[in-house]
């Protein structure tokens, strides 16, 4: 019975670690999109960044391009 409890605790810990790692990876992955949304970029610029971010799943370099665009696109002021 005691061995069953240890294995159950190990499995729960492993599941918790996997969920935590997935959460961190997803947060890092969508980082360019969140930067673009905070900077009040135009819809076209945000769409470009989203497309490049999702293409980063297949070709990792496009994620870095999306990050660069999110950082260097000029912020738009909508308070006219």
Residue 39, classified by CB atoms within 10 Å of its CB into exposed (0-12), middle (13-18) or buried (19+), is middle
* H or E element, residue 76: none
* pLDDT, one tens digit for every residue, the chain (80 residues): 455 566 888 899 999 999 999 999 999 999 999 999 998 888 999 999 999 999 998 888 999 999 999 999 887 665 54
């Amino acid at each position: 019975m005691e061995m069953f409890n240890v294995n159950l605790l190990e499995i729960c810990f492993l599941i918790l670690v996997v969920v935590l790692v997935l959460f961190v990876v997803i947060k890092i992955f969508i980082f360019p999109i969140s930067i673009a949304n905070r900077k009040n970029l135009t819809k076209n610029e945000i769409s470009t960044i989203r497309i490049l971010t999702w293409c980063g799943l297949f070709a990792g370099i496009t994620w870095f391009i999306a990050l660069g665009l999110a950082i260097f696109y000029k912020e738009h002021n909508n308070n006219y």
